[in-house]
Amino acid sequence: MMPPMTLQDDAAYLALKTHDARFDGRLFVGVTSTGIYCRPVCRVRTPLRRNCRFFANAASAERSGFRPCLRCRPELSPGLSLTDSSQVLAQHAARLIEQAARGGTDPYLPEIAARLGVTDRHLRRIFRQAHGVTPIDYLSTQRLLLAKQLLTDTDMPVTQVALASGHASLRRFNAAFMQRYRLNPSALRKQVACDAPQRPDRSTPLRLAYRPPYDTAGVLRFMAQRALPGVEAVDGLEMRRTLRWPHQGQLLAGWLQARFVPLRNELHLGLAPALLPAVGSILQRLRHAFDLDADPALIDPCLVTLPGTPRPGLRVPGAVDGFETAVRIILGQQVTVAAARTLARRLVAELGQAIETPFADLDRLFPSAAEIAAATPERIGRLGIVRQRVAALQALAREVAAGRIELHPAADLGSTLLALRALPGIGEWTVQLIALRVLAWPDAFAASDIGVLNALGLRDPAKAAAQAEAWRPWRAYAVIGLWQTLEDKS
């Protein structure tokens, strides 16, 4: 017998009936009459209320025996930012597991537990309390949903899809897919092709969803002001760039093309064939770079006291390449955005490698940590970069190249901030902006930033920090809002 509906189920069913995109990624609906689970934005006929079961995540729906919908595609739904969970530790563990799944590697749970400072047993317990499934179930769902997306949206051979989604062998991949989804990978691809005959070349881009509202204009303006010639370009609703990506002991190089489709609340992605083996981890990083997992329903009410006109759906532009963004933040110390961009452009021209792309405005890779570390200080100094910043750049590059500092959202926040503070020429302003843009810390706040102080009409960073207490735990979004206030006045 089905359990009786609760008031919470009533609200969930209302969100389903109205196709409310604010609940996308927070709610999944299993339909007992079909055995399929959907996103609340699914446009199929609304099922009867008595046939609906509601879940907080896709893994819980699959554990209960439901298969993902082929129309709304649960693998496209936005995720949750770190502070969305009352069990922050369990959410951080989920992020590490997802990173491993997307990178095609096999996470070792005791190692994750040690990294988070808890025992393996404690991590399993709080993970199940927070997510309703075991870490292994969560990992399996992430891998299979990634595989489903690659089978649907790319021409990658099934064997490559299996490897890219972290399955050790094709046999195990086929068995897991059949057990969970009741059809094999090749049958899914054929079924999708039959459902969409207008796409014989499978040219539809990869898709990433977000919860509206989304400040598209603000994000693209931010990126356009900082775009490096040869490396990045912003054109209308599109951003494209070159990219070097480490993957299973190799360095892949290529390009990506991301375009907003506001009517669908989606970001559409095109990717160079050379980057496809790492597509899972790149998709995850793009969710961070465009802050697609943010929930405006939680964030916007906390920012109502920001000066200036309210801007619904504020986002924090993150980092596609964490090291690159950290370098550009260091170059921005005590200079304008335009001046920092000029210095970064010179660095790319001097040390960046050439690359061929289908875009006339993309022909250069940003220099790697190893390349910057190996350059002589005099060579970098000739670009107009002062000695102190050259020392900071090369100190950071050496630590990143040696693997002693990791610059991505799954890196441990506390230890990474301590390591950054220990480097020469890196002060608190730099540390906070790296935490804000690279480490995805939603409460980072650069109180001494001149733009923040000017927007608040203050000169004392301590007073700015005190005023920012009202915006916790979303002070990073407050920084973006304050910067936009100044831009609106100019």
As annotated, the active-site residues are: 38, 449
E strands, 195-339, where? Answer: 206-209, 232-235, 238-247, 250-261, 266-271
- The Cα angle at residue 68 between residues 188 and 260, in degrees rounded to 5: 90
Rounded to whole angstroms, the Cα distance separating 247 from 250 reads: 5
Contacts of 254 (CB under 8 A, 6+ apart): 242, 243, 245, 271, 272, 273, 274, 275, 355, 357
285 phi, psi to nearest 5 deg: -65, -35
Rounded to whole angstroms, the Cα distance separating 104 from 98 reads: 10
Asked if residue 456 lies in contact with residue 464, where contact means CB atoms within 8 angstroms, the answer is yes
E strands, 151-308, where? Answer: 206-209, 232-235, 238-247, 250-261, 266-271
The distance in angstroms from the start CA to the end CA of the chain is 63
DSSP state of 164: H
What pairing do the DSSP bridges indicate for beta strands 232-235 and 206-209?
unpaired
Asked if residue 343 lies in contact with residue 331, where contact means CB atoms within 8 angstroms, the answer is yes
